[in-house]
Structure 1
Amino acid sequence: MSSAQRPLADRTLVVSGGSRGIGLAIALGAAAQGANIVLLAKAAEPHPKLPGTVYTAVTDVEAVGAKGVAVVGDVRSEEDVQRAIDTAVQTFGGVDIVINNASAIATEPTESLSAKKYDLMMDINVRGTFLLTKAALPHLKKSPNAHVVTLAPPLNLDPYWLGAHPVYTVSKYGMTLLSLGWAQEHKHSGIGFSCLWPQTYIATSAVTNLADGDTLASSSRSPQIMADAAVQILTAPAKEANGQTYIDAHLLAAAGITDLSGYGGGDDPIWDIFVDKP
C-alpha cells in the first residue's frame, strides 16, 4: 500500500493501556493506515488470565508494517506519562494522536465498593486521561489535524444509568466531561477532542474472564469495530470531530457501513452500559 493509500502515514499515535483489547485493536487499525504507535501500558510480563504484553503488542504493530515502541508505565504516574510522550517525540518527532483507552471498572453497590476500588477508577479513568492529554498538548498544538479520542460514553443522564453503578458512572462521565471541556477550551487550537463508545459489549478479556464469559463473548462484537470506528475519526478533519461523543455503530453507519455482521455478536448482541436499546 502506498503512502497515498495510508492516510495516517507519518502520524504518531500514543495510546494508554494498549497492550490488549480495544486499545490494541485501535493501535493496529491506525498502524495499518501508516501510523507510528507508542504503547503505554503496565503489562510487561505475561498474565495467566490476560493475553499479551506491551512488547507483544509492538510485535503485532510491526507485523502490519508499522513502527511501534513500548513504554512500560502507569497512566496514573505523571512521570511515566511524560516519559511516554517524550519517547514519542524523540523516536518519531512529535505526537499527532492520543487515545485515552486505559480504564478500570468496578460495579459493586456503593455499600460494598471499597475505597481502594473507588480510588483506582478515579485515578486511572479521570486522572490518567488528564495526565496523558495534558502532557501531549504542547505537541498536539504543533500537529496538523491532531486528535484526542477518549473511550468514554455520551452523557446519558437517565436515572437508571446514574443509579446502576454511581462511582463507575462518575469516573466514565468524568472522562467525557474532560473531553467536552477540552473541546471548548481548545476550540481554536485545531485539535479534535472526541469520545468513542461501543454500542454493544466487546469481546475482550474483561468479558471472557467473567464467570459466564464464553456466553457473553458470543453475544459481543469484535474489538475490530472500535478500531474501524476510530480510524473513521482519525482520518477525518479534526474540526468535525471536536466536541463529538460517538457510538461506534452510528459512526460506521454514517460512513455507509451498515452491515455489522462481520464483527460478530449474533443477531441480538448485548447492548453496552450507558446505551439505551431502541
Structure 2
Amino acid sequence: GTFACTQACLPALTASAKAGRGPHVLNMGPPLSMKPHWFRNHTAYSMAKYGMSMCTLGHAAEFAPLGIAVNSLWPRTAIATAALQMIPGVDTNKCRRPEILADAAYFILTSDTSVSGNFFIDDEVLVAHGVTDLDRYAVVPGTKDLIPDFFVD
C-alpha cells in the first residue's frame, strides 16, 4: 500500500515541487533495526512495518532530485487508538494521545525538503522544536511508566 499510494501521488507531488510548494511524503514507519526480538512472535507485522520504512529510504533517494522529501515518523510510546483498545490487557491509560503524532508531523511537513530520508521519533521531533511539556500528550498526565512502542530501541 505505501509503495503504490506514493507512486499514485507522484504526479501531484512532482507538480507541487515544480510550483515551489515543497512537497513531503510522511510514512508511519519505524526506524530500521534487524534485531531478532523485533521479529519474534510477529514476523508478518514486522515485515509489513519495515516494508514501509524501506519505502522511505528508497523514495527519499529516488525523489530527492525532484525536490520531494520523504520521511518516516514513529511513536516512542503506545498511542491510545481504537486498534490498541482491541488488544486484551493493554492499559491505554499508560499511553499517549494521537495528538503527539499530529504535532510532530506538523514540524516535519513544514520543514525544508532537504530534510529527507529520516526516521523520526515523535517526542524527539517535538523536543528539537522547543516543546518541553510532553506530559500533556499522556492519556493520564503524570503517568511515568508509559508503554513503549514496538521497534524503538
Confirm or deny a common fold (TM above 0.5): yes
Which 4+ residue blocks in structure 1 deviate beyond 6 angstroms? none
Give RMSD over aligned pairs.
1.2
- CA–CA distance in structure 2, aligned partners of residues 264 and 187 of structure 1: 36
Task: Tell me by how many angstroms 1:175 deviates.
Answer: 0.7
SS state of the match for residue 238, structure 1? coil
Task: Tell me by how many angstroms 1:212 deviates.
Answer: 2.7
SS state of the match for residue 163, structure 1? coil
Equivalent residue for 1:270? 147
- CA–CA distance in structure 1, aligned partners of residues 131 and 35 of structure 2: 29
Residue 219 of structure 1 pairs with residue 80 of structure 2: no
Equivalent residue for 1:134? 7
- CA–CA distance in structure 2, aligned partners of residues 135 and 254 of structure 1: 32
Equivalent residue for 1:120? none
- CA–CA distance in structure 2, aligned partners of residues 148 and 188 of structure 1: 14
Task: Tell me by how many angstroms 1:192 deviates.
Answer: 0.6
Task: Tell me by how many angstroms 1:186 deviates.
Answer: 1.5
- CA–CA distance in structure 2, aligned partners of residues 180 and 208 of structure 1: 31
- CA–CA distance in structure 2, aligned partners of residues 164 and 238 of structure 1: 37
Task: Tell me by how many angstroms 1:253 deviates.
Answer: 1.1
Residue 253 of structure 1 pairs with residue 130 of structure 2: no
Task: Tell me by how many angstroms 1:160 deviates.
Answer: 1.1
- Aligned residue pairs, count: 146
Q: Which has the higher contact order (CA 8 A, sep 6+)?
A: 2
- CA–CA distance in structure 2, aligned partners of residues 183 and 236 of structure 1: 15
1:232 aligned residue (86, 103, 107): 107
Equivalent residue for 1:203? 80
Equivalent residue for 1:171? 48
SS state of the match for residue 29, structure 2? coil
Task: Tell me by how many angstroms 1:235 deviates.
Answer: 1.0
Amino acid at match of 2:53: T
SS state of the match for residue 26, structure 2? strand
CA deviation map 1:96-138 (0-9, x unaligned): xxxxxxxxxxxxxxxxxxxxxxxxxxxxxxxx11121111101
Task: Tell me by how many angstroms 1:162 deviates.
Answer: 2.8
Task: Tell me by how many angstroms 1:178 deviates.
Answer: 0.9
Under a length normalisation based on structure 2, what TM-score does the superposition of the two structures give? 0.90
Task: Tell me by how many angstroms 1:165 deviates.
Answer: 1.5
Amino acid at match of 2:7: K
SS state of the match for residue 193, structure 1? strand
Greater radius of gyration (CA): 1
2:27 aligned residue (143, 150, 154): 150
CA deviation map 1:40-95 (0-9, x unaligned): xxxxxxxxxxxxxxxxxxxxxxxxxxxxxxxxxxxxxxxxxxxxxxxxxxxxxxxx
Amino acid at match of 2:127: A
Distance 1:210 1:166, change over 3 A: closer
- CA–CA distance in structure 2, aligned partners of residues 261 and 235 of structure 1: 24
Distance 1:263 1:229, change over 3 A: same
- CA–CA distance in structure 1, aligned partners of residues 68 and 114 of structure 2: 7
Equivalent residue for 2:67? 190
- CA–CA distance in structure 2, aligned partners of residues 267 and 175 of structure 1: 30
Amino-acid identity (%): 42
Structure 2: which 5+ runs fail to align? none
